[in-house]
Amino acid sequence: MGIYDDLGVRTIINAKGPSTRVSGGLLAPEVTKAMTEAAAHCVDMAELQAGASKVIAGITGAEAGIVTSGAAAGLLLGTAACMTGLEPGRMARLPDTTGMKNEVIMARSQRNFYDHAVRTTGARIVEVGLPDRVAGAGVRDAEGWEISDAIGPATAAVVYVASGSSRPALEEVVRAAHGKNVPVLVDAAGQLGPVSNLKKFIAAGADLVTFSGGKAIGGPQGSGILCGKRDLIMSAILQSLDLDIDWAQWSPPASLIDKDRLVGLPPHGIGRACKVGKETIVGLLVALQRFVAEQEETRRAVFLARVEKISNALSRLRNASVTVRDGMTPKLALIVNPTHAKTAMEICVALQNGTPSIHVDPSQAAGGILVINPSCMADADVAPLTQRVRELLG
């Protein structure tokens, strides 16, 4: 707590999960140690990203990969790569898209706050399909033929946001896009969970996939992964590296950047603002290797034990009940009695503004439910959390 005390900043109990707003999760000591070690030496950043590429390729099955400052940065860099290819003139011009393909197709139901990162490049999003199923009566969403139909001479990419409810299936989108030589960029930021998902989207034919480093992987909060086709990754890294160097002096590692294929060196690209430091790159790689090595079942058991401890402590509340929701990340549903004077959102705000400050997941508050996610909590957080909930809900 020392450093936060010095800054006059209170620490919080994060029972919401790895959200950026509440600073993500807690780093394993091995990750922190690797970051400290990385900070003690200087390296060539292109060589470090080439080393990262080997690790990421091995784990994801992609041809190449880089560490980014987050999945949103992965969307930005991936979109830019699809628009510029390996042409330095185009890289220099973005976000002015004159002379290049500048449309990105997305299913309308998949639009979300993070697609601002796609539009940051100067690309225009073309929405496809009516998510009629959301209306209740309907069953349909965007379909493969609609994506194919929307592809034209200005289409740079199709962006697909992966989730359990995304439609159409990725395989169908890949078929439609590849049928017209258009790459597919998958936003899989929150799709881990299952370690197998690190390979799944590449195996389904995606050209680029981005993951958050600060969510389930347990890497630094400001980290992410972009992996995929070698040429696209070469373009993405060229648009994010610092290129303040003379062409004659520049000797990047050929495994990541093949200098012979470039007519010249672009100036700093549109991704230069998404800088990622050596400590972050090393921290992400160590976290990624731990995430893959650790048994899913071990991770789940730790979370389940924490949830059950909370559940037991809250089993006899006067104004709420609790249910354990088992799954990849077991969670606890705190169901506020509808007859209680305070709504779930009011309880959420009271938890947040009390001492200690506790953040829970409010996404189902409208239905009277607050969700407690154990994945970013320490064991020491359990007692103060349950005490505070008992104070508020009897």
Ligand X SMILES: *Cc1c(COP(=O)(O)O)cnc(C)c1O
Closest separation between CB of residue 69 and ligand X, Å? 7
Q: CB–CB of 187/160 below 8 Å?
A: yes
CB of 152 to ligand X, least distance (A): 26
Nearest to ligand X of 15, 284 (CB atom): 284
Burial class (CB in 10 A: 0-12, 13-18, 19+), 46: buried
Q: How far is the CB of 186 from ligand X (least distance, A)?
A: 10
Report which of 354, 285, 365, 259 is spatially closest to residue 13, judged by C-alpha positions. 354
Helix axes 344-353, 382-393, angle to 10 degrees: 130
Cβ at position 190, least distance to ligand X in Å = 4
Rounded to a whole number of angstroms, the minimum distance from the CB of residue 112 to ligand X is 6
Point out which residues bind ligand X (CB under 6 A): 20, 70-72, 114, 161, 187, 189-190, 212, 214, 224
Q: Cα separation of 15 and 164, whole Å? A: 23
Distances (CA, A) of 51 to 54, 67, 227, 296: 5, 10, 13, 26
Residue recorded with tokens 């347990």? 218
Task: Work out how close the CB of 11 gets to ligand X at its nearest, in angstroms, rounded to a whole number.
Answer: 21
Peptide bond into 356 cis (omega under 30): yes
Other Cβ atoms closer than 10 A to 242? 11
**Residue nearest to ligand X according to CB distances in the complex:** 70
State how beta strands 184-187 and 103-107 pair.
unpaired
CA distance 44 to 241: 11
